[in-house]
Protein backbone atom coordinates (compact mmCIF):
# COMPACT_ATOMS: atom_id res chain seq x y z
CA UNK A 1 0.00 0.00 0.00
CA UNK A 2 2.78 2.33 0.97
CA UNK A 3 4.79 1.44 -2.11
CA UNK A 4 1.80 1.93 -4.37
CA UNK A 5 1.12 5.40 -2.94
CA UNK A 6 4.77 6.39 -3.30
CA UNK A 7 4.87 5.19 -6.90
CA UNK A 8 1.69 7.06 -7.70
CA UNK A 9 3.12 10.22 -6.15
CA UNK A 10 6.34 9.82 -8.09
CA UNK A 11 4.47 9.31 -11.32
CA UNK A 12 2.27 12.32 -10.74
CA UNK A 13 4.78 14.78 -9.41
CA UNK A 14 8.27 13.59 -10.00
CA UNK A 15 10.69 13.49 -12.83
CA UNK A 16 8.45 11.27 -14.89
CA UNK A 17 5.59 13.75 -14.63
CA UNK A 18 7.74 16.68 -15.64
CA UNK A 19 9.03 14.80 -18.62
CA UNK A 20 5.48 14.68 -19.84
CA UNK A 21 5.27 18.46 -19.51
CA UNK A 22 7.19 19.91 -22.45
CA UNK A 23 6.04 23.43 -21.71
CA UNK A 24 7.74 23.26 -18.32
CA UNK A 25 10.99 22.13 -19.89
CA UNK A 26 10.78 24.63 -22.74
CA UNK A 27 10.21 27.41 -20.23
CA UNK A 28 13.00 26.21 -17.97
CA UNK A 29 15.35 25.94 -20.93
CA UNK A 30 14.37 29.40 -22.12
CA UNK A 31 14.99 30.89 -18.68
CA UNK A 32 18.34 29.12 -18.50
CA UNK A 33 19.31 30.71 -21.81
CA UNK A 34 18.16 34.11 -20.55
CA UNK A 35 20.30 33.72 -17.44
CA UNK A 36 23.30 32.73 -19.57
CA UNK A 37 22.68 35.74 -21.80
CA UNK A 38 22.64 37.97 -18.73
CA UNK A 39 25.90 36.45 -17.53
CA UNK A 40 27.75 36.79 -20.81
CA UNK A 41 25.96 39.81 -22.31
CA UNK A 42 29.04 42.04 -22.59
CA UNK A 43 30.82 39.29 -24.51
CA UNK A 44 28.05 38.54 -26.99
CA UNK A 45 26.58 42.00 -27.58
CA UNK A 46 27.74 43.18 -31.01
CA UNK A 47 27.77 46.88 -30.06
CA UNK A 48 28.08 49.14 -27.06
CA UNK A 49 24.42 49.38 -26.02
CA UNK A 50 24.78 53.07 -25.21
CA UNK A 51 26.66 54.01 -28.37
CA UNK A 52 24.67 56.63 -30.26
CA UNK A 53 24.77 56.51 -34.05
CA UNK A 54 22.79 59.40 -35.52
CA UNK A 55 23.41 58.00 -38.99
CA UNK A 56 21.40 54.89 -38.19
CA UNK A 57 18.29 56.31 -36.50
CA UNK A 58 15.24 53.98 -36.61
CA UNK A 59 17.12 51.52 -38.83
CA UNK A 60 15.05 48.46 -39.78
CA UNK A 61 16.32 44.94 -39.03
CA UNK A 62 19.39 44.11 -41.07
CA UNK A 63 22.50 41.96 -40.88
CA UNK A 64 24.32 44.80 -39.14
CA UNK A 65 21.44 45.36 -36.70
CA UNK A 66 19.32 42.17 -36.51
CA UNK A 67 16.61 43.88 -34.41
CA UNK A 68 17.10 47.34 -35.91
CA UNK A 69 17.98 50.51 -34.01
CA UNK A 70 16.15 53.00 -31.84
CA UNK A 71 15.59 56.76 -31.96
CA UNK A 72 19.26 57.39 -31.20
CA UNK A 73 20.59 54.80 -33.60
CA UNK A 74 21.52 52.42 -30.78
CA UNK A 75 21.58 48.73 -31.64
CA UNK A 76 18.44 47.11 -30.24
CA UNK A 77 19.94 43.61 -30.00
CA UNK A 78 22.85 44.89 -27.91
CA UNK A 79 20.53 46.89 -25.70
CA UNK A 80 18.24 43.89 -25.26
CA UNK A 81 21.15 41.62 -24.33
CA UNK A 82 22.70 44.04 -21.85
CA UNK A 83 19.27 44.96 -20.53
CA UNK A 84 18.78 41.33 -19.51
CA UNK A 85 21.18 41.88 -16.62
CA UNK A 86 19.39 44.79 -15.02
CA UNK A 87 15.98 43.37 -15.87
CA UNK A 88 16.77 40.10 -14.04
CA UNK A 89 18.99 41.30 -11.21
CA UNK A 90 16.41 43.87 -10.07
CA UNK A 91 13.57 41.37 -9.48
CA UNK A 92 16.03 38.90 -7.94
CA UNK A 93 17.25 41.42 -5.39
CA UNK A 94 13.76 42.66 -4.57
CA UNK A 95 12.64 39.08 -4.08
CA UNK A 96 15.54 38.35 -1.75
CA UNK A 97 14.72 41.42 0.33
CA UNK A 98 10.99 40.78 0.34
CA UNK A 99 11.48 37.10 1.19
CA UNK A 100 13.80 37.72 4.13
CA UNK A 101 11.39 40.31 5.53
CA UNK A 102 8.18 38.48 4.66
CA UNK A 103 9.27 35.04 5.88
CA UNK A 104 10.58 36.51 9.13
CA UNK A 105 7.29 38.33 9.77
CA UNK A 106 5.21 35.31 8.78
CA UNK A 107 7.10 32.89 11.01
CA UNK A 108 7.19 35.24 14.01
CA UNK A 109 3.45 35.81 13.68
CA UNK A 110 2.68 32.10 13.34
CA UNK A 111 5.09 31.05 16.10
CA UNK A 112 4.02 33.54 18.73
CA UNK A 113 0.32 33.90 17.93
CA UNK A 114 -1.60 36.14 20.32
CA UNK A 115 -1.17 39.89 20.14
CA UNK A 116 2.01 39.70 18.04
CA UNK A 117 0.14 37.72 15.39
CA UNK A 118 -2.77 40.16 15.54
CA UNK A 119 -0.47 43.18 15.32
CA UNK A 120 1.52 41.81 12.38
CA UNK A 121 -1.67 40.70 10.68
CA UNK A 122 -3.14 44.21 11.00
CA UNK A 123 0.09 45.78 9.67
CA UNK A 124 0.09 43.49 6.65
CA UNK A 125 -3.65 44.13 6.19
CA UNK A 126 -2.97 47.87 6.10
CA UNK A 127 -0.24 47.27 3.54
CA UNK A 128 -2.66 45.17 1.50
CA UNK A 129 -5.27 47.91 1.62
CA UNK A 130 -2.78 50.45 0.30
CA UNK A 131 -2.53 50.31 -3.51
CA UNK A 132 0.86 48.77 -4.27
CA UNK A 133 1.90 51.17 -7.02
CA UNK A 134 0.83 54.17 -4.94
CA UNK A 135 2.93 52.90 -2.04
CA UNK A 136 5.93 52.42 -4.30
CA UNK A 137 5.55 55.89 -5.82
CA UNK A 138 5.30 57.31 -2.30
CA UNK A 139 8.57 55.63 -1.27
CA UNK A 140 10.23 56.90 -4.46
CA UNK A 141 8.90 60.41 -3.83
CA UNK A 142 10.57 60.39 -0.41
CA UNK A 143 13.87 58.73 -1.31
CA UNK A 144 14.22 59.76 -4.95
CA UNK A 145 13.94 57.84 -8.18
CA UNK A 146 16.45 55.26 -9.37
CA UNK A 147 16.80 51.50 -9.68
CA UNK A 148 17.92 50.95 -6.07
CA UNK A 149 14.95 52.85 -4.64
CA UNK A 150 12.59 51.04 -6.98
CA UNK A 151 13.91 47.66 -5.82
CA UNK A 152 13.62 48.60 -2.14
CA UNK A 153 10.15 50.07 -2.62
CA UNK A 154 8.87 46.99 -4.42
CA UNK A 155 10.50 44.72 -1.84
CA UNK A 156 8.62 46.56 0.90
CA UNK A 157 5.41 46.25 -1.11
CA UNK A 158 5.88 42.49 -1.67
CA UNK A 159 6.97 41.62 1.88
CA UNK A 160 3.40 41.61 3.33
CA UNK A 161 2.24 39.30 0.54
CA UNK A 162 5.01 36.84 1.33
CA UNK A 163 4.41 37.26 5.09
CA UNK A 164 0.76 36.37 4.72
CA UNK A 165 1.55 33.32 2.60
CA UNK A 166 4.35 32.25 4.94
CA UNK A 167 2.14 32.59 8.02
CA UNK A 168 -0.54 30.39 6.50
CA UNK A 169 1.85 27.55 5.66
CA UNK A 170 3.85 28.05 8.85
CA UNK A 171 0.72 27.52 10.97
CA UNK A 172 0.21 24.07 9.51
CA UNK A 173 3.93 23.31 9.68
CA UNK A 174 4.15 24.32 13.33
CA UNK A 175 1.24 22.00 14.15
CA UNK A 176 3.34 19.01 13.11
CA UNK A 177 4.63 16.67 15.86
CA UNK A 178 8.31 17.17 15.08
CA UNK A 179 8.12 20.79 16.21
CA UNK A 180 6.81 19.77 19.62
CA UNK A 181 9.44 17.06 19.75
CA UNK A 182 12.22 19.59 19.29
CA UNK A 183 10.61 21.88 21.86
CA UNK A 184 10.51 19.07 24.40
CA UNK A 185 14.20 18.46 23.76
CA UNK A 186 14.82 22.10 24.67
CA UNK A 187 15.74 23.35 21.21
CA UNK A 188 15.16 27.08 20.95
CA UNK A 189 12.39 28.59 18.80
CA UNK A 190 14.79 30.41 16.51
CA UNK A 191 16.78 27.26 15.82
CA UNK A 192 13.67 25.21 15.17
CA UNK A 193 12.35 27.83 12.78
CA UNK A 194 15.62 28.35 10.93
CA UNK A 195 16.83 24.74 10.77
CA UNK A 196 13.64 22.79 10.39
CA UNK A 197 10.49 24.81 9.76
CA UNK A 198 11.78 27.09 7.01
CA UNK A 199 13.51 24.29 5.08
CA UNK A 200 10.33 22.26 5.26
CA UNK A 201 8.29 25.18 3.96
CA UNK A 202 10.79 25.92 1.21
CA UNK A 203 9.22 23.70 -1.46
CA UNK A 204 5.84 25.38 -1.04
CA UNK A 205 7.47 28.81 -0.93
CA UNK A 206 9.69 28.24 -3.93
CA UNK A 207 6.97 28.00 -6.57
CA UNK A 208 5.21 31.00 -5.08
CA UNK A 209 8.41 33.03 -5.14
CA UNK A 210 9.14 32.08 -8.73
CA UNK A 211 5.74 33.43 -9.76
CA UNK A 212 6.43 36.57 -7.73
CA UNK A 213 9.71 36.97 -9.63
CA UNK A 214 7.71 37.47 -12.80
CA UNK A 215 5.52 40.02 -11.07
CA UNK A 216 8.60 41.77 -9.74
CA UNK A 217 10.10 41.95 -13.21
CA UNK A 218 6.91 43.51 -14.55
CA UNK A 219 6.69 45.86 -11.55
CA UNK A 220 10.24 47.13 -12.02
CA UNK A 221 9.71 47.46 -15.77
CA UNK A 222 6.57 49.48 -15.06
CA UNK A 223 8.46 51.78 -12.71
CA UNK A 224 11.20 52.28 -15.27
CA UNK A 225 8.56 52.96 -17.92
CA UNK A 226 7.13 55.65 -15.64
CA UNK A 227 10.58 57.17 -15.09
CA UNK A 228 10.92 56.06 -11.47
CA UNK A 229 13.24 53.09 -11.92
CA UNK A 230 16.21 52.64 -14.23
CA UNK A 231 17.47 55.89 -15.69
CA UNK A 232 18.69 56.57 -19.24
CA UNK A 233 20.92 55.55 -20.88
CA UNK A 234 20.28 52.20 -19.17
CA UNK A 235 18.87 49.46 -21.40
CA UNK A 236 16.51 48.06 -18.77
CA UNK A 237 13.59 46.65 -20.73
CA UNK A 238 10.83 48.82 -19.24
CA UNK A 239 12.86 51.92 -19.98
CA UNK A 240 13.47 50.65 -23.52
CA UNK A 241 9.70 50.36 -24.04
CA UNK A 242 9.24 53.93 -22.79
CA UNK A 243 11.98 55.32 -25.00
CA UNK A 244 10.73 53.43 -28.03
CA UNK A 245 7.09 54.42 -27.83
CA UNK A 246 7.61 57.67 -29.73
CA UNK A 247 8.41 55.57 -32.77
CA UNK A 248 4.99 53.92 -32.85
CA UNK A 249 3.27 56.92 -34.40
CA UNK A 250 6.01 56.93 -37.06
CA UNK A 251 5.59 53.24 -37.80
CA UNK A 252 8.73 52.09 -35.99
CA UNK A 253 7.39 49.35 -33.75
CA UNK A 254 10.67 47.53 -33.16
CA UNK A 255 12.08 49.64 -30.30
CA UNK A 256 8.89 49.03 -28.30
CA UNK A 257 8.09 45.51 -29.44
CA UNK A 258 11.53 43.98 -28.89
CA UNK A 259 11.80 44.76 -25.16
CA UNK A 260 8.05 44.32 -24.74
CA UNK A 261 8.18 40.81 -26.13
CA UNK A 262 11.24 40.05 -24.01
CA UNK A 263 9.35 41.05 -20.86
CA UNK A 264 6.31 39.02 -21.94
CA UNK A 265 8.34 35.94 -22.80
CA UNK A 266 10.28 35.92 -19.54
CA UNK A 267 7.19 36.54 -17.43
CA UNK A 268 5.21 33.81 -19.19
CA UNK A 269 8.10 31.35 -18.81
CA UNK A 270 8.58 32.27 -15.15
CA UNK A 271 4.87 31.84 -14.49
CA UNK A 272 4.76 28.43 -16.14
CA UNK A 273 7.76 27.24 -14.14
CA UNK A 274 6.42 28.80 -10.94
CA UNK A 275 2.95 27.31 -11.25
CA UNK A 276 4.34 23.88 -12.11
CA UNK A 277 6.70 24.02 -9.15
CA UNK A 278 3.88 25.09 -6.86
CA UNK A 279 1.78 22.16 -8.01
CA UNK A 280 4.55 19.64 -7.65
CA UNK A 281 6.03 20.95 -4.46
CA UNK A 282 2.67 21.64 -2.91
CA UNK A 283 1.49 18.15 -3.71
CA UNK A 284 4.71 16.62 -2.44
CA UNK A 285 4.53 18.63 0.78
Partner 1 sequence: MNISHRPRRAAWLAIAAGAAIALTGCTADGGDPSTAPAIDIPFGATTPAASGPVDSVAWMLPAEPATFDFDIDSGAAENTVFANVCERLMAVQPDLTTVPHLAESAEWVDDTHVVFTIRTDATFHDGSPVTADDVLWSMQRHAAEGADESDEYANVTAMEKTGANEITVTLAQRDAIFIQAMAGNGGMVLNPRVVEAQGENFGAPGTPDACSGPYTLGEWKPGTSLTIEKAENYWDASREVLASEVVFRWADQSAVVNALTAGEADGSYLDSPASAIPLQSVDSVSLAQGPSTNAWVLLATERGALADERIRQALSLALDRAGIAKAAFGDLAEPSKTPIGSGAWGYERDAFEAAYEALEGAPASPSASDLEAAKELVAEAGAPDEPIVIASDGGSVRNVVSNALVAAAKSIGLEAEIATIPSAQYGDFYSDAELRGQADLFSDEYYISKNDPVGFYKNGASTASVNFVGFDDPEYDELVTQAFAATDDAERAELAIELQRRWVEATPWLPVTQSPSTVAYSSKLTGLPSSAAYLYYPWAADLGSSQG
Residue 142 binds partner 1 (CB under 8 A): no
> Minimum Å distance from CB 145 to partner 1?
6
* Per-residue x/- track, 161-200, partner 1 (CB under 8 A): ----------------------------------------
Q: How many residues bind partner 1 (CB under 8 A)?
A: 40
271: contact with partner 1 by CB under 8 A: yes
Instruction: Check: CB of residue 178 under 8 Å from CB of residue 196.
Output: yes
Among 14, 97, 203, 233, binds partner 1 (CB under 8 A): 233
The stretch among 59-67, 81-89, 105-113, 152-160 that binds partner 1 (CB under 8 A) is 59-67
Q: Which of 145, 173, 215, 236 binds partner 1 (CB under 8 A)?
A: 145
Rounded Cα–Cα distance for residues 83 and 79 (Å): 6
Helix/strand/coil (H/E/C) assignment for every residue in 72-141: CCCEHHHHHHHHHHHHHHHHHHHHHHHHHHHHHHHHHHHHHCHHHHHHHHHHHHHHHHCCHHHHHHHHHH
Q: Which stretch binds partner 1 (CB under 8 A): 126-134, 183-191, 212-220, 268-276?
A: 268-276
Q: For residue 126, count CB atoms less than 10 angstroms from its CB and return exposed for 0-12, middle for 13-18, buried for 19 or more.
A: exposed
Residues forming contacts to partner 1 in the complex (CB under 8 A) are 23, 27, 50-52, 54, 57-61, 68, 71-73, 145, 227-228, 231-233, 242-243, 246, 249-254, 257, 261, 264-265, 268, 271-272, 275-276, 279
Amino acid sequence: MTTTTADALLTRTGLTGRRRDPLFWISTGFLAVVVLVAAFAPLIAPYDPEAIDFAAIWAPPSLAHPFGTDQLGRDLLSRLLLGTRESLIGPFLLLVGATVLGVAIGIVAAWNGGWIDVLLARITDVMFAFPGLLFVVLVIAVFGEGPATAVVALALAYAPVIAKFTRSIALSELARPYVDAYRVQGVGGGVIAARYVVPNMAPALLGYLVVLFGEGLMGLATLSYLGFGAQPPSSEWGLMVQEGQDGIVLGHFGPTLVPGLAISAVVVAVNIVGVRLSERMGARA
